[in-house]
Structures are given as structure tokens and as C-alpha cells.
Amino acid sequence: MEEIIFPNQIRMYRRLRGRSMQELADHLNVSLSAISKIEKGYRRVDQEQLVRVAEFLDCPLQELFVNEQNSQQEIVQAWRREQERRNKINEKTGLKTLGAGLRQIRNEKNLTLIEVAESADMTLSVYHRIEMGQREVSDKEFKNIAKALGISAEELRDEIKSLDQKGMLEEIIQRNDAKYKLLSNPRGAIASFNAPAAETMKISVYGTAGKDGNVDVDFDDEIKKVQRPIQLYNKKDAYAVNLCTRRLGTLLPTRSILYVDPQEVVSVGDVALFYISDKEVKIISIREDDEGKFYGIRWNPDERINLQDDDLQKIHKVVCISL
């Protein structure tokens, strides 16, 4: 699943349940230091890990997120201070210019985030943070990125400098700033807004039960609107789907909602919608065989869905799940 970072209440619930950091680390199969960073909101976790944390602490998943209504004020304030600190560091070190330059050059070469990340021997989330101007880059990493873009490190530096001097990066930096500001707000801590703006905070939900455990998605038949997740604030093509199938067994409650971004690239481990027709989808988990080809898995009962290269255009990534 897509990695996420957020201010959270994991530490509070862990202490309420009388569980140690080491127990949680063992449950997630990560280091003790990783748990410390996760609890402070500084380390990324994926959707599967987040669900496992909620199960381990016996609390609703949504209660792990910080919000102004029921979270301790010092937690919210600490998170905001951290975002301000990171922004100041980025401004001083020129990371925003670097990230904007990399994004511009990557787009000019018609390369995807995942293509550059894999060629540079990085995870997708790490490279994405670099392009967002939110992570420093070592000399070795910079050389690997340059190689992934098909140029030398010196050529990459000169190209970014030239783009900056021409004023071609300012718009990208502004977009990144706006996106990061939204992502760095604690969930539920959105300032008041007027009615037209409020409408944009909603997202349409579709989906009725289909045959053989499939879901019928008719974009002319909206079921309802729900609060738009932070991850999808700037995603105009995003939508949501009711979980009206038991092909996931008891993994998720039937009231769950899947939030979908059709523009996101899927990777191994993602949950996705596979459109077998214009209005009928299968909910699958993306897997990879020994030859590096993607295929899908359905559950209850288990079923393998073979995917052709053309099928990847029919797959929409589920970026988050509301329980």
C-alpha cells in the first residue's frame, strides 16, 4: 500500500493498553527505534501496518489519527512545530529548488516516479519526498538519480540551475508547498471555509454489489458524498467505492469505503480496482511473479487474476481505506 505519514495517538493508546514499545515493534517486525519514530509521526507506515497497529492496540483505526477535537493540544502543537522546522530547513538548504528541478526534468523525459525511484535504488516514498523538497540527498543518491535520468551528476546540477535561473521552477515549488501544507495538517484540523470550498472537501462514493463478488461502479449513479481524505485534497479525478462485496472475507467491515486515485501508479502489495468492463470491477491485491510481471489476487476463495500489459491501464489504485 501507499506509505503515509501522520501525527498520531499510537503512543497514548499503547500506554492505555499497558503494552511496551518492544511488543509493538515485535508485532510489526520493525526495530525499536522505528516504533519511536512512528509514534512521533516522523516515520512512514503503510496501510497494512496501520491496520495491524489498530488491531494490536484494540482501538478503531480512525482513533489513531490526531485531530483538534479530541487530541491533546500539545501533540497537535508539537506536530505543527515540526512542520515549521522542516520548512525552514528546506528553505535554507535549497531542497525545494532541487525537488522542483528533478520533477521538471523527469516530466520532460516522460519518466514516472516509480521508474526513477527503482533505477536510483530508492523506495518510491523516499524519492517522492525528494521531489517534494522534504528530504536531503547524499552525493551517492544524487549520482544515482542523475543516472536514472540518463545524464551525469554535473549535467543534472547545471540543468537544475538553468531551470531555476529561467524561473521555470517557481510554479512547481508553489504547488509542492500547497500540497505539503495540506498533508502536514493534523486530520480534522482544517480551518473554517465557505460553502463553495466546503463542497470541494467532499468526495463522491459509488458502488453496488455485482455478480461473483464484483462491484458495479456507475459514475452516473452517485451513492453519497463523504469527507475527502487528506491524501486526495488535490486529486480531482479521485473517487470512493463502497465495500459491497465479501470477496475480502472479514478483512474489512462491510461499511468500509475505498478511496481511489486513478492517476497513481500501483506497485506490489497495493489494493486496487481492476475494471473488467466500463462499470464492473474486481477488488484485487497486486502481486509480482518470478518474471517480474504483475498479477492480482482475490480472496474468499483465493483466485489469481492474470494481468496483461494493457490491463495496467484499467487498474485504479486504492490509496486509503475508511473503516
Instruction: State the pLDDT confidence band at 2, using cuts at 50, 70 and 90.
Output: very low
Cα distance between residue 70 and residue 186, in whole Å: 12
Q: What is the pLDDT of residue 56?
A: 92
pLDDT of residue 164: 84
> Considering only the top CATH level, what class is 3-65?
mainly alpha
Contacts of 82 (CB under 8 A, 6+ apart): 41, 42
CA angle 138, 141, 146 (to 5 degrees): 125
Are the beta carbons of 245 and 315 closer than 8 angstroms? no
Q: What is the mean pLDDT of the chain?
A: 79
Amino acid at 317: K
Q: Which pLDDT does position 198 carry in this prediction?
A: 44
Per-residue pLDDT reduced to its tens digit, 56-90: 998 877 777 765 555 566 666 666 666 666 556 55
What pLDDT shows up at residue 207? 92
Give me the residue spans of the domains in the chain: 3-65, 86-184, 195-322
pLDDT in tens, 110-148: 988 888 988 998 877 678 878 887 777 888 889 999 999
pLDDT of residue 73: 65
Q: Which amino acid, 318?
A: V
> pLDDT tens digit string along 213-253?
999 999 888 999 988 887 787 777 899 999 888 777 666 77
- Same topology between domain 3-65 and domain 195-322: no
- Whether residue 206 has pLDDT greater than 90: yes
CATH of 86-184 given 1.10.260.40, 3.40.50.880, 1.10.10.10, 1.10.287.110: 1.10.260.40
pLDDT of the residue at 168 = 82
**pLDDT score of 150 more than 50:** yes
**CATH class, range 195-322:** mainly beta
Helices (H), the chain: 10-16, 21-28, 32-40, 47-57, 73-93, 95-108, 113-119, 124-131, 139-148, 153-165, 170-184, 195-200
The β-bridge relationship of strands 271-275 and 208-209 is: unpaired
